[in-house]
Structure 1
């Protein structure tokens, strides 16, 4: 028992952190969930959320924090495509036996295709596409809310909030969507400003379901915003195909609303994922052979 190794797959994004813990022979110990864990939120906050999720997962097997020293963790985190973020996460003084790190897209791709060649497009709060072809990693997007995250929920929400305020001030036609968003802020632009000063991407992304529902109800603004997101998602998939990827799995909450809207020729290359980013994180930490520039390990 003292030599027991436990393996943890972490799927961390702008909205939540999920973990799965397995034994060396693949038996699941438990799963847990905690708050946002994009690496750009800072290593201290991210590890705090991961530890909370691990405690919940261990409790399902009657275990506790005393088992942290047995945990070998495969981090799949949004934001880890930046070398500085990867360094910050791996150099932080953590409570685990060892840690491997990579982008959530990389571990999601490993999990989706059980370590074989393929590609993924994650559409959640943010977005990122990634492919693995004969050992080569192909990255598309994933550069953060400010300049990237095309077709993600946060960008959809930001566009809708901006448009709602513009319409409220008489600069464009109001729609049911703009009125619903303004009502959320009590029709008070100053309240919107105070909210926006502190809002994180996942808070913008919370408007995504309303936008898709409004598009289904023929709201003209919502239809334009969703059409733009579909175009962006299509462009990311096409970029993977142009670089040699032959099959792509869609992942993330927003993908369930965008997938059926994709062009027919792109839907033909879509395959159901065989696993998720947590599975990929466990595969990565068990193999401990990460690709340079994509992931790294620390013991």
Structure 2
């Protein structure tokens, strides 16, 4: 038998040289028999979760993980579709083996707030790769990441939002609106409401309690009235307010009635998001919950679950156990 011929893998119509390890540059194992080499043409699917602070990309060839890449979300501009598509294309090029191209790409994007906005990014991304593409808001990754076909995705991290779909497939999103006006139950919204509670107590002539004292120390100001200027001086409101959220939970553990009331109301506000989706016809039997704030703080999750049981009795909340990027991978598989 003569020497076997080494061939490259083919990804989305392009040949990719075989890597020295015996695997293709896409991670697809090459097979050799007496007829020579045989290639595995398993398509490469890419899922991307663009969060508010970090971005996570995973790529699979069949069931084999080819790339698992995390970087900051710096430079993500979802309100400029062409810039967003270029940013995503650069991310894919950075994460995938040289020369590899995806057969399908699905993206869950932070601040992709309307179907039109997501569609414009999708179109630009499709034109770049020449492959099926899908772009949704990042909260829409939660339900498929949990292995479900339908339900509500609720995020309470720095901000908060809930999303679901009507029976015919139309996406419905509620909440959000930023730290100044909304994001109840998120870290920034909690800090805003905690400051309001401290101001109200001050106006009633009460001495600063554990919540007020914690806020004063965290913002490095000497008296409650000065909290207003400290909040207003923020240049990145969501991030700069949100980082003070641990103070609220510490004060609640220290026995502050004000802090406990703020957390209870935040949980109720998150449940209200699900209630609004139900009122608009979204199936809300399963509510998949994610976010650095709600999943890290048992008191907030408990307040949410209690309020949800009262306002939407049939809803079943569940914390997301898988990384949201797996939802993007599932969506990419569905459009290939």
1 or 2 for the larger relative contact order (CA 8 Å, sep ≥6)? 1
Residue 246 of structure 1 corresponds to: 285
Residue 266 of structure 2 corresponds to: 229
Distance 1:174 1:32, change over 3 A: farther
**Contact 2:294 2:301 (C-alpha < 8 Å) held by counterparts:** yes
SS in 2 for 1:270: strand
TM alignment of 1:100-249, pairs within 5 A: 100-114=134-148, 116-132=149-165, 134-137=167-170, 139-145=172-178, 146-161=180-195, 173-187=207-221, 189=226, 192=230, 195-196=233-234, 198-241=235-278, 243=281, 244-249=283-288
1:103-156 per-position Cα deviation (integer Å, ceiling 9, x unaligned) = 112222222234x22222221122222234644346241443154422122211
**Contact 2:165 2:171 (C-alpha < 8 Å) held by counterparts:** yes
> Which of residues 58, 63, 83 in structure 2 aligns to 1:20?
58
Q: Distance in 2 between matches of 1:43 and 1:68?
A: 24
Residue 283 of structure 1 corresponds to: 330
- Between Structure 1 and Structure 2, whose CA radius of gyration is higher? 2
Distance 1:216 1:193, change over 3 A: closer
Query: Structure 1 residue runs of 4+, over 6 Å off?
Result: 165-172
Distance 1:185 1:73, change over 3 A: same
Residue 69 of structure 2 corresponds to: 32
Q: Distance in 2 between matches of 1:73 and 1:137?
A: 20
Deviates most, 248-257 or 34-43 = 34-43
Deviates most, 145-154 or 170-179 = 170-179
Distance 1:154 1:7, change over 3 A: farther
1:196-234 per-position Cα deviation (integer Å, ceiling 9, x unaligned) = 1x1242332222233223222222332122111011112
Q: Distance in 2 between matches of 1:191 and 1:46?
A: 34
**Contact 2:110 2:137 (C-alpha < 8 Å) held by counterparts:** yes
Distance 1:43 1:210, change over 3 A: farther
Q: Distance in 1 between matches of 2:128 and 2:51?
A: 21
Distance 1:274 1:179, change over 3 A: closer
Across the aligned residues of Structure 1 and Structure 2, the Cα RMSD in angstroms comes to 3.8
Q: Distance in 2 between matches of 1:235 and 1:253?
A: 20
**Contact 1:12 1:77 (C-alpha < 8 Å) held by counterparts:** yes
**Contact 1:150 1:233 (C-alpha < 8 Å) held by counterparts:** yes
Task: Answer 1 or 2: which has greater helix percent.
Answer: 1
Structure 2 unmatched runs, 5+: 1-8, 13-42
Q: Distance in 1 between matches of 2:160 and 2:205?
A: 30
